[in-house]
Homo-oligomer: A and B are copies of this chain.
Amino acid sequence: MNSESTPHRPVGRPREFDMTQALDAAIRIFSEKGYHGTSIAELKAEMGLTAGSLYKAFQDKRDVFVAAYDRYKQVRADLLEQALCSATTGREKVARIIGFYAMSACGETGRRGCLAIGAAVELVLSDAEIAARVGRHNRKLVTRLEGFIRDGQLDGSIRHDVDPASTALALFSYLQGVRIAGKTGELENQMLPSGEAILRILD
């Protein structure tokens, strides 16, 4: 979790709940019902907290959301690192990222959807701080994809006439969109093949 959003706990006062479990519950309900669609009462129930515990750890619903968002991004980043760790060429790295998102678009995770995309859709226009967070994460992924494309051009696994910047944004858009496509639970058997198909962009 990013330190700038870690809820502060008074020194010497033990927290009477597991913050990780509570935030995972918040991630679930925010992903399913959206920010505006989730009430504080539902958050308390899902997170297993009393009003006292919740307001001791968080200022308000938005503060829970920001902490849940940061944890979500961290969990997803860790899973992505695992998926990437044995990839060697630039092309393999791009393929692993694509496979990771296409797989996430399936099943329960796919239908629940991506908390970060939800934040972009619901909050980017009205909340400058969350917009900055979303923008920062987006830029980071686009820059990473661009780097992997350049790596692939150096190691010979990606064609040299592929433009790294615009191709990175095209791939990033696919990654976001496949999570939207996964929301309805349809076309699920085509998610992984669609990931194979998008890789042709590197040929």
Contact = CB atoms under 8 A, between A and B. Distances in A.
B176 A135 contact: no
A163 interface: yes
A129 interface: no
Given A138-B184, A162-B200, A173-B178, A122 B125 contact: no
Interface of A: 32-37, 111-113, 117-118, 120-122, 124-126, 131, 134-135, 138-139, 142, 162-163, 165-167, 169-170, 172-178, 180-181, 183-184, 186-187, 190-191, 193-198, 200-203
A135 B169 contact: no
A37 B123 CA distance: 9
A124 B170 contact: no
Closest 6 CB pairs of A and B: A177-B177, A166-B193, A173-B177, A36-B36, A176-B177, A169-B194
Nearest to A124: B183
Q: Which of A33, A120, A178, A183 has the most CB of B within 10 A?
A: A183
Contact of A197 (B163, B178, B187): B163
Contact of A37 (B122, B139, B181, B184): B122
A122 B120 contact: no
Given A174-B170, A196-B166, A183 B120 contact: yes
Contact of A177 (B165, B172, B184): B172
Among A134, A194, A195, find the residue whose CB has the most chain B CB atoms closer than 10 A.
A194
A122 B114 CA distance: 11
B184 A173 contact: no
Task: Specify which of A121, A173, A190 lies most central, judged by the most chain B CB atoms within 10 Å of its CB.
Answer: A173
A188 to B, nearest CB: 10
A190 B175 contact: no
Contacts of A177: 172-178, 180
